[in-house]
């Protein structure tokens, strides 16, 4: 792709190249950020850096690349709605511990864009999980 007249690797290809050096959880966190919908007014872009179909197309086109097995595993774990790597790491830890997949960016009133939201949670159990702090150094469960 081109950016400001300079040819660079696409975000999807860069993600695939990282599969050869990053641990699985980090690769999933990068993937979550690539497919994340930018926040209007807070970011200079309106579209995600990549899409899950674009990441899967990279997997299909580069079947023998170093890290391809890890990339395939990571692609299955990428989710829309994670706003930070710590949120991704917590989601992966919850599911690795045998808990069900949490709902991401869980709004108190589903579908209401003005309703308060938690980073993730379990609606049926009335559990909301919200990180505190700028870089998300710790989790607080409410």
Q: State the pLDDT at residue 44.
A: 85
CA angle 114, 119, 124 (to 5 degrees): 85
What pLDDT digit, counting tens, does each position of 71-105 carry?
999 999 999 999 899 999 999 999 999 999 999 99
Q: Are 82 and 91 in contact (CB under 8 A)?
A: yes
Rg (CA), the chain: 16
Residue 133 has a pLDDT of 57
Name the CA dihedral angle for 81, 82, 84, 88, rounded to a multiple of 10 degrees.
Answer: -170
> According to the model, what pLDDT value does residue 20 have?
95
Count Cβ neighbours within 10 Å for each residue of 49-73 and write b for 16 or more, e otherwise. bbebebbbebbeebeebebbebbee
Q: Which residues of the chain have pLDDT under 70?
A: 133-142
Extended strands (E) in 26-116? 103-107
- Can you give the pLDDT at residue 141? 43
- 97 touches 79 (CB < 8 A): no
Which two three-digit tokens encode residue 25?
Answer: 């959880």
- The structure tokens listed for 104 are 């991401």
Q: What is the pLDDT of residue 135?
A: 55
Q: Distance between CA atoms of 141 and 21, rounded to whole angstroms?
A: 33
Q: For position 40, what pLDDT does the model report?
A: 79
């Amino acid at each position: 792709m081109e950016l400001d007249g300079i040819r660079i690797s696409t975000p999807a290809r860069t993600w695939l190249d990282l599969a050869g050096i990053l641990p699985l959880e980090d690769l999933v966190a990068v993937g979550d950020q690539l497919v994340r919908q930018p926040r209007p007014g807070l970011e200079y872009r309106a579209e995600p850096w990549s899409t899950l179909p674009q990441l899967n197309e990279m997997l299909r086109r580069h079947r023998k690349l170093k890290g391809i097995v890890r990339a395939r595993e990571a692609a299955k774990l990428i989710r829309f709605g994670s706003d930070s790597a710590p949120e991704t790491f917590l989601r992966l830890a919850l599911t690795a511990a045998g808990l069900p997949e949490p709902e991401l960016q869980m709004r108190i009133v589903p579908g209401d864009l003005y309703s308060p939201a938690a980073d993730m949670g379990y609606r049926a159990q009335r559990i909301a999980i919200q990180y505190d702090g700028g870089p998300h150094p710790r989790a607080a469960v409410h």
